[in-house]
Structure 1
């Protein structure tokens, strides 16, 4: 502020000294007019500055108009994306009929609508059966008449409807972007005992790829929805033509299932080991790898065991037999034996002989049932043949007072305890050939920490950006930046340019007796008399801030001649507060005025400082 007052005073006086002949020709009562001041200001700018100022003003107005129109437009939200061209055309026609503004993106496959209308429009489109995905469903029977329709047309419509409904169901999955289903339903011929099985082919375009388990689920979904269709007769390929799930052979699906089961088992064991190891050594201080060898052969074993100690009588059989003989009579009759030689002697001795014979037999058979155990053992595929576990644990770190960390290796006893914990958690079996290795080495986790920090930061930013409208924030940010640039680069310089002529006009008014205000007032009658007398005497008159006129002594003829000579021969200099260039003689003249009239100059400066404060 100490330098601003003299500069303003010098500017005002220089302006008067430079344009003194012109101002002397204009009446004092008209110098403070606002119209003349505005014209003088515009004339002082020059044609080039006026053109530049007009161009900048028009550009700013046009830019702000575009921004305001863009901001005033409704926020657009996604209605549908990835639509077929047919569905997109139908939806656009529906929106035009409803007089709803929309935007098309992505070659017409994405439709944007006002955010406030998105939910209502989705319900309206769903009521109209849009989007249909390029396929028809059971609504095909809504517009057909049963009269005059052949059985062939009915069967084809039913097949189309079934394919369309299956495609819609598959597209409802989160990972599926588009799907197309083809069914082959053979007709059973008359008087034919053999029946051909139906088959299905599916083309799926997935987001990020379709997993094997998901493909298997799609197979069973389609097989359950079609009568007589077996899941083995459903083939699935992706948009690039790669086989995801095979047909009747099922080799692709089976082999992938084995690999997935092995990976899942290894992952489960690794998590179990990690939970118990990290609880000892700390988070991110252990690295664990598990290699499992599984047996996917299905084995069935039958065994039969007999227990001799567990006898049970099943049946008993008893047989009893007895026989007897009678005595012979003494008076025997004539027989053939009597005719034999020596028959007489024998006959005489045998007259007194007798015979008595008796036989008895007892037989018992006992049948025993022996205890028998029959065992059928089925070993399903996926049994563990061998396990190998590698555990890398970090050591302990001690932080000194100066912040440096010292690494300390873990003791063998501690490693052995960790190994026992690992063996117990995985079900270690030495007979199976399992192995567990626990090694203590320093772990360099710098890259891991950086990645974790970046992931956490990205996750936080994604959550923030997901909850806000990115385009709206971008528009508001651009508007804010342009506004600040306009204020600091355009408005502020313009204000400075506008205030500078005002100060000059105020200085001129002060030198000529006017009030230094934005709205100049006409001088009073007393002031007019003083001004007229001073002009008649060839003196210059200035006014103090309180309105008191002060007459300056008129220069002598010698001083006037010297001043005119300096006006004609003086060089031009630049002053920051003055537009354009002034003569050096004008500056010297102002200096002489201040030097000859210090009190009056000080009074004017104090008034200006008071107005500024």
Structure 2
């Protein structure tokens, strides 16, 4: 009886440890992740931020003077702080002009306007997804009566992202366009972005970067067009395509001059020269008179100035591999269609290579069947994943623990003989002892 009691204690203890461990694991995996929202040592500012978060029902924690909120609530918290004017306490916006000092000089007014504009731009940037901190510095356009001495507007933006994440090219261009649109005379190319390490991340001034991006876009379009032509016109859906496009973004400017020829030009200068000579020989007098006319005319000229676009395709190379079931005639027809459809220019150096490989052909019906099966599997996976909420996981695990407990309880149940032995009366026990002594004495 004590043996089974001890085993029950051990089993219950082990089961309790398993349940507590599972609950702890669920709490660890399901607890929200907190990210920094604001780091501020000023207690008054912290109190204002906490008041705004409490009013907006946004959960938060405070660690080392840093207010952290749930990662899923970071955008909502930034908007709430921005409405309360606390998106970044160190930056000031147009609230500088709430109490206008009419005795302020024009120079001071310009400085305040620049500070306010920098603060408003920084606040707008910090409301973007993934942004932790931003600071904007503006160099406005310098007004002067001399066009040559006129200084262009410039700007620099220092940003810090959450978890040091990298900004995409579209985000960088968006910030540059945001700043340039808010400042008069500022070009987006003159807006420099730096990260928290002081590295320049605004690479849109690099021509090679633009060329690479444009090449990738054109290559993707060519590959998509090739697949559409082969599938819709020749019913070929298993094909390998690789394109390489060289793009030249250099600008060219050509100036040409040619004369305007006409029968009669404009008379600029008319010159007439006359000379006479008197000769005498043998007392004989004779005279000779010479004259010449020089006319100078002005002929007009035509000047044409042509500036070519900055984007020019230098060369296109396309490689295509199709199944080996196609014959030479079909390959030739396909190549002619693709060269015409893609605009392959042999004079420019373009090249299109079409070869057949030992790729088994795949019928349209097989592809449709495969797509349907894949779609069904994805739908089943999505259904299972959507149904497995944290509560359902806990319920399923609890049921598994309960079944395991019942199985172990059944296995550890004492045998029938032992139970019957525990239920014997004293008289029955004495009879059994007498019989045992008799058997032992007999042996």
Band of TM-score, shorter chain: 0.5 to 0.7
**SS in structure 2 at match of 1:420:** helix
Residues 157 and 193 in structure 2, CA contact (< 8 A), matched pair in contact too: yes
| Pairwise CA distance, 1:415 | 0.9
Q: Quick one: distance in 2 between partners of 1:218 and 1:94?
A: 31
Q: Of the candidates 421, 426, 442, which is equivalent to residue 342 of structure 2?
A: 426
Matches within 5 A, 1:60-99: 81-86=35-40, 93-94=50-51
Distance 1:476 1:95, change over 3 A: farther
**SS in structure 2 at match of 1:84:** strand
Matched, 1:484 2:403: yes
Q: Quick one: distance in 2 between partners of 1:208 and 1:458?
A: 34
**SS in structure 2 at match of 1:419:** helix
**SS in structure 2 at match of 1:438:** strand
Matched, 1:296 2:225: no
Matches within 5 A, 1:211-222: 211-212=168-169, 214-222=171-179
Matched, 1:209 2:163: no
| Pairwise CA distance, 1:440 | 1.0
How many residue pairs align between the two structures?
Answer: 388
Matched, 1:236 2:193: yes
TM-score, normalised via structure 1 length: 0.48
Aligned counterpart, 1:389: 318
Matched, 1:568 2:432: no
Matches within 5 A, 1:245-256: 245=202, 252-256=205-209
Deviations along 1:134-173, one digit per CA (max 9) or x if unpaired, are: 654537549x755799779876665454333223333444
Question: Which ranges in structure 1 are unaligned for 5 or more consecutive residues?
Answer: 1-44, 315-369, 397-409, 513-534, 541-559, 572-584, 586-613
Deviations along 1:496-538, one digit per CA (max 9) or x if unpaired, are: 45x95997399869xx9xxxxxxxxxxxxxxxxxxxxxx9xxx
Q: Quick one: distance in 2 between partners of 1:66 and 1:98?
A: 36
Distance 1:264 1:468, change over 3 A: same
Matches within 5 A, 1:32-71: 45-46=1-2, 49-54=4-9, 56-57=11-12
Distance 1:432 1:97, change over 3 A: closer
TM-score, normalised via structure 2 length: 0.62
| Pairwise CA distance, 1:424 | 0.7
Residues 202 and 235 in structure 1, CA contact (< 8 A), matched pair in contact too: yes
Aligned counterpart, 2:331: 415
Matches within 5 A, 1:259-274: 259-274=212-227
Matched, 1:168 2:123: yes
**SS in structure 2 at match of 1:389:** strand
Q: Quick one: distance in 2 between partners of 1:179 and 1:69?
A: 35
**SS in structure 1 at match of 2:408:** helix
Matches within 5 A, 1:387-466: 387-396=316-325, 410-443=326-359
Deviations along 1:252-295, one digit per CA (max 9) or x if unpaired, are: 43332233223322322222222212443632323232333546
Q: Quick one: distance in 1 between partners of 2:4 and 2:334?
A: 83
Residues 67 and 479 in structure 1, CA contact (< 8 A), matched pair in contact too: no
Deviations along 1:155-205, one digit per CA (max 9) or x if unpaired, are: 66654543332233334445x534523314479799999665543211345
Matches within 5 A, 1:459-474: 467=386, 471-474=390-393
Q: Quick one: distance in 1 between partners of 2:5 and 2:56?
A: 46
Q: Quick one: distance in 1 between partners of 2:174 and 2:136?
A: 17
Rg larger in structure: 1
Question: Which ranges in structure 2 are unaligned for 5 or more consecutive residues?
Answer: 266-298, 362-366
Distance 1:275 1:67, change over 3 A: closer
**Cα RMSD, aligned residues only:** 5.8
Distance 1:131 1:277, change over 3 A: farther
Q: Quick one: distance in 2 between partners of 1:374 and 1:190?
A: 34
| Pairwise CA distance, 1:567 | 1.9
Q: Quick one: distance in 1 between partners of 2:260 and 2:400?
A: 95
Residues 323 and 357 in structure 2, CA contact (< 8 A), matched pair in contact too: yes
Matched, 1:284 2:201: no
Deviations along 1:434-470, one digit per CA (max 9) or x if unpaired, are: 222111122499xxx9xx99x9899779956875676
Aligned counterpart, 1:132: 87
| Pairwise CA distance, 1:420 | 0.5
Residues 140 and 157 in structure 1, CA contact (< 8 A), matched pair in contact too: no
**SS in structure 2 at match of 1:418:** helix
| Pairwise CA distance, 1:100 | 6.7
Aligned counterpart, 2:135: 181
Q: Of the candidates 229, 247, 258, which is equivalent to residue 211 of structure 2?
A: 258
Distance 1:59 1:240, change over 3 A: same
Q: Quick one: distance in 1 between partners of 2:78 and 2:247?
A: 53
Residues 258 and 296 in structure 1, CA contact (< 8 A), matched pair in contact too: no
Q: Quick one: distance in 2 between partners of 1:213 and 1:71?
A: 38
**SS in structure 1 at match of 2:403:** helix
Q: Quick one: distance in 1 between partners of 2:417 and 2:146?
A: 110
Aligned counterpart, 1:199: 154
Q: Quick one: distance in 1 between partners of 2:328 and 2:167?
A: 47
Q: Quick one: distance in 2 between partners of 1:100 and 1:240?
A: 35
